[in-house]
Copies of this chain bind each other. A is one copy, B any other.
């Protein structure tokens, strides 16, 4: 199934919710979870990860919460998806040269490479 996982779908929903907030406003995880219909602790994990790579900013303690780490126009859907799902690439053998031992003999490799 070449589909997003739940995690990917949830990540997008969360980011979009944050993007629609007035700039500078922080949102509680409980609020985001409720609005997006995502299990709160699961969404928290996702956003915590995003905080590490700068897509969102998090604030602990009273008055804390989450907001985007930079302006929405500088965050791509692809970036969000790849952050949770890993690189969008049709085949492992394209990730880097040397990762596939069939690289030199397999007739499929050059085709993938050319179309990607």
Contacts and interface: CB of A to CB of B under 8 A. Distances in A.
Interface of A: 1-4, 9, 12-13, 16, 20, 37, 81, 85-93, 102, 106-108
Contacts of A3: 86, 89-92
Contacts of A1: 85-87
A2 B108 contact: no
A79 to B, nearest CB: 14
16 contacts: A1-B85, A1-B86, A1-B87, A2-B81, A2-B85, A2-B88, A2-B89, A3-B91, A3-B92, A4-B90, A4-B91, A9-B93, A12-B108, A13-B106, A16-B108, A20-B107
